[in-house]
Amino acid sequence: MSIHLDDKRVRLAAFEWLKDQVILYGDVLPRELLVQGFELDGQRIPLMSVQGIFKPKVLAEIPISITSTVHGPYDDRMDSEGLLLYKYRGTDPNHRENVGLREAMSRGIPLIYFHGIVRGKYMAIWPVFIIGDNPENLMFTVTVDDPSFIDTYARMSQSSLQIREPQDAGRRSYITAEVKRRLHQSSFRERVLLSATVLYFRKTGN
């Protein structure tokens, strides 16, 4: 039976675990690793599931990650300013997963974004923040912050998290644009490797 753990402690542990996995595997991580996740206080904490908006059982109300898959059913995309436009779960703005992301936005809670590079492989980006909600288009706006923010987050109280510094928007927009460039580079590299692997097996008949 799962019990609820402290939200901030779980997120900080997840960020630290992801950092270690990137050191081991590189920027692009296998899906099975993210589904397995890590353990904290005897509880297994997966970071990904079949849902695009995912909350592990140990968290009370706010999701820990959002995911865009290759050829997925949702039209997630970057806008002209480099911000991620992330589609709602379904068409009901009050679906519990959409409500969870809305709560993350109102409370300034950082999330993880998994971007599908090729089938079964994802680039993990963190911390990301929900900064806009557009019920008419069934879409959230997501921005990325620098990983150094995590140290600040660890020291901040919940009330201070809700205070937005004026310079945040410009800084996060720049960082998100840089992440967009890295996504394109990783996607290109993985597609080349996949094509080379397929060609090799076709030639060798294995």
What mean pLDDT is predicted for residues 31-45? 97
State how many domains the chain has: 1
Q: Which candidate, 143, 127, 138, places its Cα nearest to that of 82?
A: 143
Do residues 76 and 84 touch, judged by C-beta distance below 8 A? yes
> Count of residues for the chain?
206
Residue 1 inside a domain? The answer is no
Residue 154 inside a domain? The answer is yes
At residue 67, φ and ψ (nearest 5 deg) are -135, 140
Residue 2 inside a domain? The answer is no
What three-state secondary structure class fits 131? Answer: strand
Q: Looking at 8-17, 77-86, 166-175, 181-190, which range is the least confident one? A: 181-190
| Backbone Cα Rg of the chain | 17
Nearest-angstrom CA–CA distance, 129 and 113: 9
Strands 111-118 and 65-68, by their bridges, are parallel
**Which one has a higher pLDDT value, 5 or 158?**
5
Percentage of the chain beyond pLDDT 70 is 69
**Cβ neighbours for 120, distance < 8 A, ≥ 6 positions apart:** 30, 31, 32
Q: What is the span of the domain harbouring residue 40? A: 7-204
Which amino acid is present at 32? E
Give the H or E element holding residue 74: none
| Mean per-residue pLDDT of the chain | 80
Nearest-angstrom CA–CA distance, 33 and 51: 16
| pLDDT reported for residue 156 | 77
Residue 107 inside a domain? The answer is yes
What three-state secondary structure class fits 20? Answer: helix
Q: Label residue 47 by pLDDT band (50, 70, 90).
A: very high
Does 23 have pLDDT greater than 50? yes
pLDDT tens digits for range 55-106: 999 999 999 999 988 765 556 677 766 678 999 999 999 999 999 999 999 9
Torsion angle, alpha carbons of 127, 128, 129, 132, to 10? 170
Q: Token pair for residue 152?
A: 């600040």
| pLDDT reported for residue 69 | 85
